[in-house]
Structure 1
């Protein structure tokens, strides 16, 4: 009986540690994002908004929206001009596909790589995941959100929607932001990450 209780306690402790580690990582992301937006040197906010800025509005942290996806590397993809909110058309290439399940439903997202950015040493492993969902235009920004990712080592990739953020265009019209490709529109409410700034 004592052995069983010890095992149960260890499982609970490990689960709690895992939970804390997950929560800490998301809270660190939120803190760093808020710091970036509060600093006039790095903030995308317009002057009036920056003057009164305190914090971005985040959904409650939810581990359901951190998924381990099956990653399929797509080969022989041709670079294409990604549409943006302006006339700018940066070159991207579809790098891979992520297959995952939330609440028993299966989804797929395409993951992209910015051609020019990938030529810089500090961004050689950087991947770009733009998406929209059923909250877009309601609780979250109408133009969808982004997630920064790194090239995975194996055939799985972690997608943490809790670290999804708005394009700069959600705050200031002077920016040129990639538009979410239609194939990355999810038929589910992703209640995670940053909410819309204001109407």
Structure 2
């Protein structure tokens, strides 16, 4: 993929997401905030944070229970791991599946931008079949990192990031923290980060 087409795809993805959040009935943004919503904040696109990597499959994927933002629980299979380098250091993230035959991976992570520029409970990457290259490697592109729905409204239940996926590095890519429009400050702004610590 050329740099130009990658940037175009990323820009279109972000524009579609802004439209969904602003106008779709299923938007997680509370209805009284949508009129004032003028788009999400993102880090600038960084091609160095896009990786094509083999999934290091685990021989016998274990089932783990992940807590949620509302003190619930969900079960996931720890399917494998991705290794990647940032500034000469190697990092690893586990990838999860809900069921063994699902052809998609969920890669949640926390990093050292959390609670400052990005959502305190961490961000997610979803890898679909379309995120595989012709030779079967996966595209792990942090420019597509997104906030769980509970970043926009505490009405949502979101799986928390397992400690294995807490990165000791800044991932300056993808979606930044959502700030509710000023008039909604009382309902969201004061409590947006409390449940993850």
Scaled by the length of structure 1, the TM-score of the pair is 0.82
Aligned to 2:147: 166
| Counterpart Cα distance in 2 of 1:143 and 1:28 | 26
Asked if the contact 1:67/1:158 (under 8 Å) is kept, the reply is: yes
Structure possessing the higher radius of gyration over alpha carbons: 1
1:94, CA displacement in angstroms? Answer: 0.6
| Counterpart Cα distance in 2 of 1:74 and 1:107 | 17
Aligned to 1:129: 107
Which residue of 14, 23, 27 maps to 2:7? 23
1:28, CA displacement in angstroms? Answer: 1.9
| Counterpart Cα distance in 2 of 1:62 and 1:126 | 24
Instruction: Supply the RMSD in Å over aligned alpha carbons.
Output: 1.9
Alignment pair present for 1:58 and 2:42: yes
- Greater mean deviation of Cα atoms: 57-66 or 34-43: 34-43
Describe the SS at the equivalent of 1:52: coil
1:79, CA displacement in angstroms? Answer: 1.8
| CA deviation string 1:29-87 (max 9, x = no partner) | 21121121112412100122212111011111110111123421112122222111113
* Cα 1:155/1:110, change in 2 over 3 Å: farther
| Residues 86-97 of structure 1 mapped to structure 2, 5 A cutoff | 86-97=70-81
Describe the SS at the equivalent of 2:33: helix
| CA deviation string 1:119-141 (max 9, x = no partner) | 7xxxx312101001110010000
Asked if the contact 2:70/2:157 (under 8 Å) is kept, the reply is: yes
Which residue of 176, 180, 195 maps to 2:161? 180
| Counterpart Cα distance in 2 of 1:24 and 1:80 | 37
| Counterpart Cα distance in 2 of 1:109 and 1:55 | 29
1:155, CA displacement in angstroms? Answer: 6.6
Asked if the contact 2:61/2:80 (under 8 Å) is kept, the reply is: no
Alignment pair present for 1:114 and 2:103: no
Aligned to 1:12: none
Describe the SS at the equivalent of 1:112: strand
Describe the SS at the equivalent of 1:87: coil
| Counterpart Cα distance in 1 of 2:91 and 2:62 | 24
Aligned to 1:42: 26
Indicate the structure with greater helix content. 1
Asked if the contact 2:45/2:143 (under 8 Å) is kept, the reply is: yes
Unaligned runs of 5+ residues in structure 1 are 1-16
Aligned to 1:9: none
Aligned residues: 177
Alignment pair present for 1:197 and 2:197: no
